[in-house]
A and B are shown apart, each in its own frame.
Chain A
Amino acid sequence: MSVLDPKKTLKNLRKKGFVDSFNHSKDHKYLELFHNNKLVCYTKISHGNKDIGDPLIKQMSFQCKLDKDEFMDLAKCPMSEEEYIELLENKGYLK
């Protein structure tokens, strides 16, 4: 089972180019990634201090167009913003 710290994950995703969305729910905050002024993808992260568990990790990975290992790298920092953008480019999501 994998877990992520929500505050660190939020901070790291912001570092990778994600910005807060105007839309949000009671329990979650939405983050969006724009490239060349175009919305590429979005994800949501839980409010509060409760660790992010497997269900939300699965959801966030899918929304960020990554597999689980790639997403863990993105959320924990080894993957830089440039590397992430390159990966999205290679997968064809930036057109």
Chain B
Amino acid sequence: MNKIDLNKGIYLQIEGELGKYNSIPINFFVKFAQEFQELVNSIAQYDLPSDEPIDLANFHVELTDFKQGSAIPKFAFSQRIENLTSMHWKVHRQKVSETFEKLIEISNSGDYYELENIYPEPVKRNPIVERLYNFTNSFGNSPVSFVDFTDTDSTPKPIYKINRFKSNVKQKLITEIKEEEQEKKKVDEGYGKIKTTTSKTGRKRNQVVSFYNKDNIKLEFAPEIVNTEDRTYYLNYPLRSLFEKEDDFFVIQNEMLSIIGTGSTEDEAEKNFFEEFDYVYQRFTSLKDEHLTQNNQFIKTILKQIVKKIE
């Protein structure tokens, strides 16, 4: 028979420094109430059967009563109908409540290593251990117990005491999870849209905002100024060209003007592309149209339209 039930509500007696005025400071209340909710959520998430859909909204906990005698808040699953989804919410709540009691029994015994037997799989144990640790340590040094009242007696009757969950015990219970996939690493090359933020101290941090697979995307290279050693071309509009990486070199290519630049680095490819632009412009404009094929006449016409001035 269950001694505590989240469906009916459970009383938590907080004594010592924290509850000595028969009240609870808001900041402490918010902290441990949040940890309480997180613990319940993690039980729902990791302890319920994984083949059934779980809606964490079904496990919202609310403050339902408050008694004095130190500070004794009462928590229970929310009765708000709008929070309830899926067919199995009642069964799930019951299971979560039972597991919660099991965890509190462990805390009462002080033998937190028992968690290893209940949750042999680290993938379940780790989050439960973390949440239980956070919850049991959210009261500082104040003694805390789950209590109940009888119909005839207003004195709280202790059920489970919350014992301190030591940090070194927690560390021993947490197991590093190495996913099997890590051993079979798959490397995909691609291009990213990078967001760079600069802190006040000038430190730059790059964040990949979007990733594009190499096979699906070619990036645009669109200079408005073409710089070579001898000349600088100022263009009327950006020279939209494709930029891509082949096996171990970079390629910049403008199909319309039949100009290509390659190089083992981006800079080298750019320099090369600009040299080619310079060559094509100078050479094609130096030749009369009758000495150019139709295709090259077209390129010459476009080049003349693109270039605003040359310095």
Q: Residues of A with Cβ closer than 8 Å to B? A: 21, 23, 25, 30, 32, 34-35, 37-42, 44, 54-56, 58-59, 62-63, 92-95
Q: Which residue of A lies closest to B283 (CB)?
A: A23
Q: Which of A21, A59, A95 contacts B260 (CB 8 A)?
A: A59
B287 touches A39 (CB 8 A): yes
- B39 contacts chain A at the CB level, 8 A cutoff: no
Complex alpha-carbon distance, A42 and B282, angstroms: 13
Q: Residues of B with Cβ closer than 8 Å to A? A: 246-251, 253, 258, 260-264, 269, 272, 275-276, 279-280, 282-284, 287, 290-296
Q: Which residues of A contact B263 (CB under 8 A)?
A: 55
Q: Which residues of A contact B251 (CB under 8 A)?
A: 55, 58
Assuming the contacts A38-B291, A39-B292, A40-B293, asked whether A58 and B246 have C-beta atoms less than 8 A apart, the reply is yes
Complex alpha-carbon distance, A54 and B287, angstroms: 31
Q: Which of B262, B291, B294 contacts A37 (CB 8 A)?
A: B291
Complex alpha-carbon distance, A26 and B292, angstroms: 26
B293 touches A54 (CB 8 A): no
A-B pairs with beta carbons under 8 Å apart, 15 shown: A23-B282, A23-B283, A37-B290, A39-B283, A39-B287, A40-B293, A42-B283, A54-B249, A55-B269, A58-B246, A58-B251, A59-B261, A59-B262, A92-B295, A95-B295
B262 touches A94 (CB 8 A): no
B262 touches A39 (CB 8 A): no
